[in-house]
Amino acid sequence: MIYAYARVSSKDQNLERQLNAFQNCGIAIDKILWDKESGADFDRTNYKKLIRRLRYDDLLIIKSIDRLGRNYECILCEWKRITKDIGANIYVLDMPLLDTRCHEKNLIGKLIADIVLQLLSFVAENERTNIRARQAEGIAIAKQKGVRFGRPRIILPDNFYEVADAYITHTISYNEALNLTNLRPTTFYRYLKGYNTGSYGSETY
């Protein structure tokens, strides 16, 4: 039996390109399953239905490897489950080397596909490592230049203590205190709480 699987990440994305490719391969519409869900893992409604249908020597066709999933460690595990545990085959249209069926000239498709997939996984993981390294280098350089990260520092207005005392003694209302300090309600309350408990030790945070 030949099945096809398509995926896009969100409900407003279009599956048409993938579905057209499958129909051009002559795959019956009732054998095409798709999900409009994230590729971060394989906990997808129709993908799980597909796995339950797959049997030994069936063929699963996908348009590209990232339509199967985004996490290459998970893809490797799922690839093993389909090709080794279930005994089905996989063919990736956009990368013909990812074809676990036996090829001519005695070349074993499963071996070739496994090697290519391992290579893709290494490249993807290496790129993630490089991205993290570049981000760390960029942050370090920015810090050396005095760039601050996180929430911006808020400097207390000069009249904060005076206004806080007036509010605590009920001389002015809460809204008046906000207007006089020009602070947001959550910010004023946070500073006021620290002032009352004596834990406030700096005019910035």
Active centre residues (catalytic): 9
Contact 18, 63 (CB under 8 A): yes
d(CA 8, CA 35): 7
The single-letter DSSP state of residue 202 is -
Rounded to whole angstroms, the Cα distance separating 155 from 189 reads: 15
Q: At what angle do helices 174-181 and 185-197 cross, to 10 degrees?
A: 100
Q: Is the dihedral of CA 173, 174, 175, 177 positive or negative?
A: positive
Take residue 23 and report the two structure tokens written for it: 């129909």
Q: Which two tokens stand for residue 25?
A: 């391969």
Confirm if 66 and 124 have CB atoms less than 8 A apart. no
Read off the amino acid at residue 51: I
Residues 6 or more apart in contact with residue 28 via CB below 8 angstroms:
none
Closest CA relative to residue 178, chosen from 196, 165, 160, 195: 160
